């Protein structure tokens, strides 16, 4: 694996894409409340 190789996983993902792991704490909106980890706002 080269230094630049994107870390990814296709395990347990319902999408047809190779999911890039990136920052697992990256924020996403799902429904009318956006996911904001509690720790991030304390």
Partner 1 sequence: MHPFAYFVTSPIKIDIWSDIACPWCYIGKRHLEGGIAALGADAPDVEIEYHSYELSPDTPLDFEGSTVEYLSKAKGMPVERVEQMMQHVTNVAANAGLEYHFDKVAHTKTLKGHELLHLAKAHGKQGEMKERLLRAYFTEGGRVNRIDELIGWAVELGIDADEAREALESGRYAADVQADIAQARAYGIQGVPFFVIDGKYGISGAQPAEVFSQVLTQVAEERDGAAA
Give the interface with partner 1 as residue ranges (CB under 8 A). Answer: 4-6, 8, 13-20, 22-23, 26-36, 40-41
> What is residue 39's three-state secondary structure?
helix
Q: CB of residue 22 vs partner 1: minimum separation in angstroms?
A: 4
Q: CB of residue 31 vs partner 1: minimum separation in angstroms?
A: 6
Question: From CA 2, how far away is CA 4, in angstroms rounded?
Answer: 5
Contact 19, 13 (CB under 8 A): yes
Q: CB of residue 11 vs partner 1: minimum separation in angstroms?
A: 13
Judged by CB, which is closer to partner 1: 11, or 31?
31
């Amino acid at each position: 694996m080269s230094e630049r190789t994107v870390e990814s996983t296709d395990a347990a993902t319902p999408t047809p894409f190779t999911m890039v792991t990136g920052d697992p704490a990256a924020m996403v909106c799902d429904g009318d409340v956006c996911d904001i980890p509690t720790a991030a706002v304390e």
